[in-house]
C-alpha cells in the first residue's frame, strides 16, 4: 500500500525560514510557492494537471492515476501516438495537446499543477497556476510525498551524478540490500515510488537528481543526499551561476538532523551551498584526510565511518574507472553506502567490480595506434576538461553542439598543451572557436562524421581522439547517447576496414 509522507511533521524543519519572511523584499514566486506547498497535502487533492507528457510527466500521471486521482496532462507538442499516452488515456487520463484554452480550463478545475523537469519556470501555464494561487509541484517532490517509508538516497552535482547513482546501487546490492536507480538517470522517480509501494521488500531508491528537478522542491528530504560538485552548466535555463547553485542547494535544504549529507570537501561552491545544512555532514576529498568520510591517502582510497577508525579501502589503480574525478565519485559513493550501513570490506570488494556506464570515457577502439574515446556524456565544460586531463597523450578533441551559454574562454589555459586540435561541431562552433583561438589549434567541422575523419587523418599512433563535446547534443542528435552511438559506430566501421596490428588493443593512453 502506498503511504504518503506526512506533512507538517514535528521533526521536520520549519520551512518558513527558508521561504521569504521579510517585508522588505517581496517574496519571489518560487518562495510563495514553497509556502503554498508546505501546507499542500496531495493525499487530499483529487484533480491534478501535469505539464509535460515526457517520461517524468507520464510517470507522475501514472502515479496519480494509480491513487484514484483525476489527471489531465498538457503538452506543447503532440505525443498522442505514444503507447504510454494511449495506455493512460484508456485508463481515464485526459490529454490536451498545445491547446492553451483547454489547458486553462483544466487548470481552472485543478488543485495543483505538476511540472516536468524540462519545462522552464517561465512557462505560461505555470504563470497561470501561480495567478490562481495553485501549488506548483515538481515531479520529484510529488513522488517523494508519496514515497512513504521508502529509504531514499539522492545524488546531485554538475558531473558524475549517473556514475555515483550507479555506484551506490552497486555497493548496496553487494551488501544484499535491494536498490533501484531512478530519477534523471532515465527511470522516473514517480514510477520507482509506485513500483516500490507494490513491492513486499521495497528497495532503497537511489535517485539521480538534476538542477531542473530541484527547482520546485519544497520539502524533499532524502535520507542520504550527495552533493558532488557545482560548476557552470544549464546557465541558459537557470539564468546565472547563483541560481544554478541555489537549485543544487535544495537537495539538502529540507533534510533533518538524523539524515546524512555527503559533500565534496574540495569544492568551495558545494561547501558554500551546504553551510546551513541540518543533516549530519560526511565529507569526501581527493586532497586531504577527513574526520568522517572518505579520502585518497597516497594512492589508496580510505574511509572513516562513524564510530570507527580510518581504514584503507582499495588502491587507486584497482578502481575500474579512469581519472581522478572518478576516484572522487567512488569516495562519494562509499560515503553514501557507509551511511546506509554497508561495511568497508563489502565497499572495497564491490568497488573493484563496478562496470561504468556507456558514453562516459568509454574506450571504443584503438585503430592504427590511435585510441578513440567516447565521452558524449561530457555535456558541460567541467566534464570536458576532466576528460581531456584523463590522458597523458596529445588529445584530438571533438567538441561543440548546442550552446548552454557556457563560458568557453574559462577553460582555455587547461586545454593549452594538452589538446593537439579541437574539431568543432554544431551550433556552438563559432563561440568556441573565438574563445579558444590562440590556445589550441581549431578545425571547424560542422558534423561528427567530418570531425572524426579530420581527427583520424591528423592523429598519430599513441594519441587520442576524444569526443567530449562540452555542450548539449540536441542541435544534431536526440540526446547524448545517440551522439555517442554515432561516434562509436563510425569508429567501429573504421576499425572493420583497417587491418589491425598484433599489438592493437584498446590499451589506454591514460596515466
| Residues engaged in binding ligand UMA (CB under 6 A) | 52-57, 75-77, 79, 116-120, 123, 183-184, 186, 188, 210, 212
Q: Minimum CB separation from ligand UMA for residue 287, in Å? A: 27
Q: Which residue is nearest to ligand UMA (CB)?
A: 118
Nearer to ligand UMA, 18 or 184 (CB): 184
**Residue 300 CB, nearest distance to ligand UMA (Å)?**
32
Instruction: Give me the DSSP letters along 216-239.
Output: T-SS---SEEEE----S--HHHHS
441 — phi, psi (to 5°)? -70, 140
DSSP character string of 371-416: EEEE-TT--SHHHHHHHHTT-SS-EEEEEESB--S--GGGGHHHHT
Output the nine-digit C-alpha cell for 333: 559513493
185 vs 279, beta carbon nearer ligand UMA: 185
Q: Which of 60/340 has CB closer to ligand UMA?
A: 60
Helix%, strand%, coil% for the chain, nearest 5: 40, 20, 40
Query: Least distance to ligand UMA from the beta carbon of 58, Å?
Result: 7
What's the min distance (Å) between Cβ of 26 and ligand UMA? 26
CA–CA distance, 241 with 245 (Å, rounded to integer): 6
DSSP 4-73: PPPSS-TTS--GGGTS---SSSPPPHHHHHHHHHHH--GGG--EEEEE--SHHHHHHHHHHHHTT-EEEE
CB atoms within 10 A of CB 300: 14
Which class for 417: exposed (0-12), middle (13-18), buried (19 or more C-beta within 10 A)? exposed
Give min distance, CB of 189 to ligand UMA, in A: 6
Q: Rounded to whole angstroms, what are the CA distances from 41 to 29, 137, 217, 372? A: 20, 11, 14, 52
Least distance (Å) between residue 489 CB and ligand UMA: 21
Which of 198, 79, 195, 183 is closest to 140 using CA atoms?
183
What is the spatial distance between Cα 62 and Cα 67, in angstroms, rounded to a whole number?
9
Phi first, then psi: what are they for 224, rounded to 5°?
Answer: -130, 125
Nearer to ligand UMA, 35 or 181 (CB): 181
Nearer to ligand UMA, 212 or 436 (CB): 212
Nearer to ligand UMA, 82 or 453 (CB): 82
**DSSP letter, residue 296:** E
Least Å from the CB of residue 341 to ligand UMA: 27
Among residues 407 and 462, whose Cβ is nearest to ligand UMA?
A: 407
Q: Which is nearer to ligand UMA, 60 or 339 (CB)?
A: 60
User: Cα–Cα distances in Å, from 298 out to 73, 171, 286, 301, 360?
Assistant: 54, 23, 10, 8, 26
In the complex, least distance from residue 56 CB atom to ligand UMA, rounded to whole angstroms: 3
Q: How far is the CB of 316 from ligand UMA (least distance, A)?
A: 28
Q: Tell me whether residue 53 or residue 134 sits nearer to ligand UMA (CB atom).
A: 53
Strands 300-304 and 311-315: antiparallel
User: Which residue, 49 or 327, has its beta carbon nearer to ligand UMA?
Assistant: 49
CA gap 292, 262 in Å, rounded: 10
- When the beta carbons of 75 and 463 are compared against ligand UMA, the nearer one is 75
* Longest alpha-carbon distance in the chain: 75
Q: Are 147 and 193 spatial neighbours (Cβ–Cβ below 8 Å)?
A: yes
C-alpha dihedral over 399, 402, 407, 412, to 10 degrees? 10
The span from the CA of 155 to the CA of 40, in Å, is: 25
Minimum CB–partner distance for residue 53 and ligand UMA (Å): 5
Q: Least distance (Å) from ligand UMA to the CB of residue 224?
A: 19
Amino acid at each position: 500500500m502506498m503511504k504518503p509522507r506526512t506533512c507538517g511533521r514535528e521533526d521536520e524543519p520549519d520551512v518558513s525560514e527558508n521561504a521569504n519572511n521579510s517585508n522588505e523584499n517581496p517574496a519571489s514566486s518560487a518562495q510563495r510557492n514553497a509556502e503554498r506547498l508546505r501546507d499542500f497535502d496531495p493525499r487530499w487533492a483529487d484533480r491534478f494537471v501535469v505539464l509535460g507528457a515526457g517520461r517524468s510527466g507520464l510517470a507522475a500521471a501514472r502515479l496519480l492515476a494509480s491513487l484514484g486521482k483525476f489527471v489531465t496532462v498538457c503538452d506543447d507538442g503532440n505525443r498522442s501516438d505514444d503507447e504510454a499516452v494511449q495506455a493512460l488515456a484508456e485508463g481515464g487520463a485526459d490529454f490536451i495537446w498545445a491547446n492553451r484554452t483547454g489547458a486553462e480550463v483544466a487548470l481552472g478545475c485543478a488543485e495543483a499543477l505538476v511540472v516536468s523537469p524540462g519545462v522552464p519556470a517561465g512557462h505560461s501555464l505555470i504563470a497561470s497556476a501561480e495567478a490562481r494561487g495553485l501549488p506548483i509541484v515538481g515531479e520529484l517532490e510529488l513522488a517523494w510525498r508519496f514515497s512513504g517509508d521508502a529509504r531514499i538516497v539522492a545524488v546531485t552535482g554538475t558531473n558524475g551524478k549517473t556514475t555515483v547513482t550507479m555506484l551506490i546501487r552497486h555497493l548496496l546490492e553487494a551488501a544484499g540490500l535491494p536498490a533501484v536507480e531512478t530519477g534523471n538517470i532515465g527511470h522516473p522517480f514517480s514510477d520507482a515510488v509506485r513500483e516500490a509501494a507494490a513491492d513486499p521488500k521495497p528497495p532503497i531508491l537511489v535517485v539521480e537528481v538534476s538542477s531542473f528537478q530541484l527547482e520546485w522542491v519544497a520539502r524533499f528530504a532524502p535520507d542520504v543526499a550527495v552533493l558532488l560538485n557545482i560548476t557552470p552548466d544549464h546557465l541558459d535555463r537557470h539564468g546565472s551561476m547563483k541560481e544554478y547553485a541555489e537549485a543544487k542547494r535544495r537537495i539538502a535544504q529540507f533534510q533533518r538532523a538524523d539524515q546524512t549529507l555527503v559533500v565534496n570537501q574540495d569544492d568551495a561552491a558545494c561547501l558554500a551551498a551546504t553551510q546551513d545544512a541540518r543533516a549530519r555532514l560526511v565529507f569526501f576529498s581527493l586532497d586531504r584526510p577527513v574526520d568522517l568520510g572518505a579520502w585518497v591517502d597516497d594512492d589508496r582510497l580510505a574511509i572513516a565511518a562513524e564510530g570507527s577508525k580510518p581504514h584503507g579501502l582499495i588502491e587507486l589503480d584497482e578502481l575500474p574507472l579512469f581519472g581522478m574525478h572518478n576516484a572522487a565519485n567512488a569516495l562519494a559513493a562509499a560515503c553514501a553506502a557507509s551511511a546506509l550501513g554497508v561495511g568497508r570490506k563489502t565497499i572495497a570488494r564491490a568497488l573493484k567490480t563496478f562496470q561504468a556506464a556507456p558514453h562516459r570515457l568509454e574506450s571504443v577502439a584503438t585503430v592504427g595506434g590511435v585510441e578513440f574515446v567516447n565521452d558524449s556524456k561530457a555535456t558541460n565544460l567541467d566534464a570536458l576538461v576532466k576528460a581531456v586531463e584523463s590522458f597523458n597523450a596529445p588529445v584530438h578533441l571533438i567538441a561543440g553542439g548546442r550552446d548552454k551559454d557556457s563560458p568557453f574562454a574559462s577553460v582555455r589555459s587547461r586545454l593549452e598543451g594538452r589538446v593537439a586540435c579541437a574539431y568543432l561541431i554544431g551550433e556552438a562552433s563559432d563561440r568556441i572557436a573565438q574563445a579558444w583561438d590562440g590556445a589550441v589549434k581549431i578545425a571547424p567541422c560542422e558534423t561528427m562524421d567530418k570531425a572524426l575523419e579530420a581527427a583520424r587523418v591528423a592523429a598519430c599512433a599513441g594519441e587520442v581522439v576524444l569526443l567530449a563535446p562540452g555542450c548539449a547534443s540536441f542541435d544534431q542528435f536526440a540526446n547524448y547517447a545517440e551522439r555517442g552511438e554515432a561516434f562509436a559506430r563510425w569508429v567501429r566501421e573504421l576499425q572493420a576496414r583497417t587491418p589491425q596490428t598484433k599489438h592493437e588493443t584498446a590499451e589506454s593512453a591514460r596515466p
